[in-house]
Amino acid sequence: MTSMQRDLVRAVGEARHRAARQDHLVRAVRRARRLERRSGRRAALDARRTGGRRRLPGWLMGWLTGRLTGWWRWSAGVDAPSGAPLLSAVVPPPEVVAEELGGLLQQLADRIVAHGTAGERPALEAVADTARWTAPGAAAALTDWDGTEVFRLRAFGVLHGVVLGVLGDEDRWYLLERLRGGSGLAESDLVA
């Protein structure tokens, strides 16, 4: 993965984080408005029971609440969503990612032992792409399809250890998503 691609992946992650933060703020505002309406209804019921009157009609209170909420969002610097919203990714804890990734790599190793590396080409290329900056020689040997099977097997053994022991949490999660075929960005999804 080139540095430009890595920067793009980080930028997409940061955009998802900002979108998730914005969604969190919007939900908090809606929750506050809902609680405010409920307390207003309770106050109205109490006032009716005691014979008193509300100070403002309900529709006016709703309109004022909406205006104040808009002002609060503007003053807090929360921008309105523009275009299609990005989906936020919920990243599991690093221990869970490492455990699941270890299981997937073990299954991949079992399939390689049974059928060879040729049938697992996409998964091996994903492993090599993710670990290319940490172990460039092993990553090159793993994806050298003109080389011998023995070299690819040795390279996979080295990269298996690198993935579980050396890579950072973000890179592990990225590889896990690629091996799952999930929402992680594939190489073809990146724009240079």
CA distance 101 to 72: 43
Most confidently modeled of 10-24, 30-44, 149-163?
149-163
Residue 170, pLDDT score: 87
Please give the mean pLDDT across all residues of the chain. 78
Q: Which residues of 155-179 are buried (b: 16+ CB within 10 A; e: fewer)?
A: bbebbbebbeeebeeebbbbbbbbb
- Residue that has been written with the tokens 């807090």 in this structure: 76
Band (pLDDT 50/70/90 cuts) for residue 57 is low
Residue 82, pLDDT score: 52
CA distance 14 to 112: 36
pTM over 0.75: no
Give which of 133, 115, 25, 17 is closest to 72, Cα–Cα. Answer: 25
Q: Which tops the pLDDT comparison, 56 or 112?
A: 112
